[in-house]
Amino acid sequence: KNQVEQSPQSLIILEGKNCTLQCNYTVSPFSNLRWYKQDTGRGPVSLTIMTFSENTKSNGRYTATLDADTKQSSLHITASQLSDSASYICVVSSGGSQGNLIFGKGTKLSVKP
């Protein structure tokens, strides 16, 4: 069964600290992996999209990694800010069409002053 599992479920860190969120998937075939940021009560916003051949992709203070062999991805946030408080969602595409996206449940990050 195609699944995307994220950990931890929730995380609290102090402003200025770094953190890493994990995503493990059992999706086959694999087309690409995306990370989205979702503020409470808002729609998700794309952070990165990585294909099979990409190991690392950065977007400002966000850096995503992908290990297609172990089927794992991580999202590293550097020098966290209060505005980073949100849910972070890992999404894997199994190809064919964009109707084949498998969404993780998300990690809820709280950044405290």
If binding is defined by CB under 8 A, does position 68 make contact with another protein? Answer: no
Rounded Cα–Cα distance for residues 89 and 69 (Å):
21
If binding is defined by CB under 8 A, does position 30 make contact with another protein? Answer: no
From 18-26, 28-36, 59-67, 72-80, span contacting another protein (CB under 8 A): 28-36
Asked if residues 31 and 59 have their Cβ atoms less than 8 Å apart, the reply is no
Minimum CB separation from another protein for residue 82, in Å?
A: 21
Amino acid letter at 103?
Answer: F
Structure tokens at 59: 């977007």
- Which residues contact residue 43 at a Cβ distance below 8 angstroms, ignoring those fewer than 6 apart? none
Q: Which one of 66, 77, 86, 89 is in contact with another protein (CB under 8 A)? A: 89
Give the footprint of another protein on this chain (CB under 8 A).
Answer: 4, 31-32, 34, 36, 41-46, 49, 51, 89, 93, 95-99, 101-106
